[in-house]
Structure 1
């Protein structure tokens, strides 16, 4: 009995005062606190715990800490907006099931209106309203519903014009936008980038240049958002046209030798220093990258080489590339024969098939992956806010 009593004493929990003291020692250590915050997993949780005290908020919102947090926990993909040919509005399809993201997913699914999504970046949508009398553009922030819809003023009328949400370095805030305008002039092109800041009624010319073209401007299939003063357009002739505003230069980039079909899409990724090409052949998926400073086709490097799509293998059918998110984590695919939409997480190779969506034809799908906002929006404290620390 004496031995049992001694063993019980050894394994008994410490008194409450001792436990509180131990916890206080841990949380009063700034280095330990940062390591604990670093393991939260989601930016939404980080924002909530930052309300504990001013000290916690100071650590959680520090730029150096946020850089570490982002490397470990990239912005989560909440889902994607899907619009089929003839549909008046897109529908939101959740991807994440994490309970920490439930509120964000609910808000993303509540975006309403008859519109076409022109660009989707960092928790915002640049939309074009379906209006028989006018083509109106606006910015929606589904994760911050109090912002409502910010209508954009008309842009200058040029031959070609594309609207985008701004990159981080553009000096533009949440409701801003970028317009890329092009006027073909034979073997030259006049190019202009206009910037719109929140609440402004006027576009401001940010860059303008007359650029020599390697040949008369070929028909353009689509254009990527401008990155570091460079504009990339995929032509219908199967080349990539790069327009460098700063250097007033252009070039036609050749595709990798193995890319012999138009079953691919392009992306500049989140960092914007590399051009990515995501290509499918049969049931195999490959991704190449090309430095933005290069114009040599030999500089294409393979990132993922001939990754098998298991669902396509099991069904013995080909896949078509539809879209990719900005972090280059998820690629959305269409199974041609069975008419099924799916996505693959590239790092883990995990796949999800959306049989329940009943999508009719992948050739006319418009998919916009929708991600969490980064950096996270922390509360702005007032002097009378009662936070200790």
Structure 2
């Protein structure tokens, strides 16, 4: 794990760098949290702690910053969160029946004083959980079977039945959208509108899709008006 997280503050943006280091036997893990504060100009050690177990980094779990806490998957059934205010560490069990698998579970920050969303894909169904207080709430369930079948992705269907595994690549803030992988395609799911679109086909030369890092912006964009001098130079 080697993640860069940012937090907006009154005087600017600060960054947290989360680095996970394991021993040779992968029986001990050290998590290093470094901070680059706005205007500071230098990275400083913010927090370092050891854990006897964390989810194997090969599962591609990602750290998430939400409500001034950093969340990291610790086992297939739990997540650790590190409170940056109190420097305390706690563990939260995942909802009953949910566990980290092969790229089928991901966290995303919530949009209020709650903690995090947990998005879980299984059997072409997407479940969205919200951790609030000490409880997990199932806030949405989306069946993707018909949506995927309508896309007719080459090599992923037998008699109109989707067969390839569905993986989660990226979850947007507040779980408003999800990027998925199926076969050699990237799919975008608009959670609110319940709309699934194919947005990318891998070429024959590409071995894997890699991580998706979407850029979100206001649409349509609003550009500043050009002055007369700039307008003449642009012509």
Task: Give 3-state SS (helix, strand or coil) of 1:369's partner.
Answer: coil
CA RMSD of aligned residues (A): 3.8
Looking at structure 1, the residues matched to 207 and 128 of structure 2 have their Cα atoms a distance apart, in angstroms, of 24
- The answer as to 2:25 corresponding to 1:178 is no
Partner of 1:325: 172
- Aligned 8 A contact 1:288 1:301 in 2: yes
Looking at structure 1, the residues matched to 29 and 185 of structure 2 have their Cα atoms a distance apart, in angstroms, of 43
Question: Which structure has greater strand proportion?
Answer: 2
Deviation (angstroms), 1:305: 1.7
Structure of greater Rg: 1
Normalised to the residue count of structure 2, the TM-score between the two structures is 0.67
Looking at structure 2, the residues matched to 355 and 178 of structure 1 have their Cα atoms a distance apart, in angstroms, of 31
Cα deviation 1:238-281 (Å, max 9, x = unaligned): 53121223333223322222324511111114546331111111
Partner of 1:303: 139
Looking at structure 2, the residues matched to 171 and 182 of structure 1 have their Cα atoms a distance apart, in angstroms, of 29
- Counterparts of residues 20-99 of structure 1 (less than 5 Å): none
Looking at structure 1, the residues matched to 37 and 192 of structure 2 have their Cα atoms a distance apart, in angstroms, of 37
Looking at structure 2, the residues matched to 311 and 276 of structure 1 have their Cα atoms a distance apart, in angstroms, of 23
Question: Which structure has greater helix proportion?
Answer: 1
Partner of 1:29: none
Runs of 5+ consecutive residues of structure 2 not aligned to the other structure: 151-159, 225-235
- Aligned 8 A contact 1:266 1:276 in 2: yes
Structure with bigger RCO (C-alpha 8 Å, 6+ apart): 1
Q: Which moved more, 1:233-242 or 1:346-355?
A: 233-242
Task: Give 3-state SS (helix, strand or coil) of 1:311's partner.
Answer: helix
Query: Which residue, 88, 94, 111 being the options, matches 1:249?
Result: 88
- The answer as to 2:189 corresponding to 1:344 is yes
Runs of 5+ consecutive residues of structure 1 not aligned to the other structure: 1-159, 380-389
Looking at structure 1, the residues matched to 28 and 201 of structure 2 have their Cα atoms a distance apart, in angstroms, of 49
Partner of 2:116: 275
Looking at structure 1, the residues matched to 2 and 201 of structure 2 have their Cα atoms a distance apart, in angstroms, of 37
Partner of 2:98: 259
**Cα 1:192–1:278 shift into 2, 3 Å:** closer
Normalised to the residue count of structure 1, the TM-score between the two structures is 0.43
Task: Give 3-state SS (helix, strand or coil) of 1:310's partner.
Answer: helix
